[in-house]
Amino acid sequence: MNKCILVGNLTRDPELTQTTSGVSMCRFSIAVNRNYANANGEREADFINIVTWRGLAENCGKYLQKGRKVAVCGQIQTRSYDDKDGNRRYATDVVADDVEFIGGGDGGSSAPREERSSAPKKLTSELKPVEDDGLPF
């Protein structure tokens, strides 16, 4: 069985592309903290490459950004290729079946990246006080 579940933060904005046949693909990487500290007392992280396809890829490309916390469920895949110098290189990716958007790098906004404004938002309070007598707990 080849199944992994990871929780981490995006290390950079996702890269959404399409194959020559028009299938959407999104690549991003996440930093996943290790469960232990090193000799200096610092917690180290592993940087894991993630690949998503089709509708999931489009959603990841549209809604994710650097710093966003995600949970990824998928399979580990290894591949090999020859670099420009003719050396054999190996790469390992997680091909995600599911990506849960947990937290936001921008305060948890669910608006698409291209619609977000960098201007600070004004907070308005439209909450009205509730009488304690009416609460069910």
Q: What's residue 103's pLDDT?
A: 73
* Confidence at residue 15, expressed as pLDDT on a 0 to 100 scale: 97
**How high does pLDDT run on average in the chain?**
84
- pLDDT tens for 11-38 read 999 999 999 999 999 999 999 999 998 8
* DSSP labels, 38-88: -TTSPEEEEEEEEEEEHHHHHHHHHH--TT-EEEEEEEEEEEEEE-TTS-E
SS3 state of residue 136: coil
What is the reported pTM? 0.74
Give the span between the Cα atoms of 97 and 99, in whole angstroms.
7
* Two structure tokens written together for 107: 């305060």
pLDDT on residue 68? 96
Q: Over the stretch 64-75, which tens digit does the pLDDT of each residue have? A: 999 999 999 999
Question: Which tokens in the block code for residue 15?
Answer: 């890269």
What are the Cα distances from residue 46, in Å, to 4, 20, 22, 96, 116? 14, 32, 32, 17, 29
Q: Tell me the domain boundaries of the chain.
A: 4-134
What's the rounded mean pLDDT across residues 108-135?
Answer: 50
CATH architecture of 4-134: Beta Barrel (2.40)
- 113 forms beta bridges with none
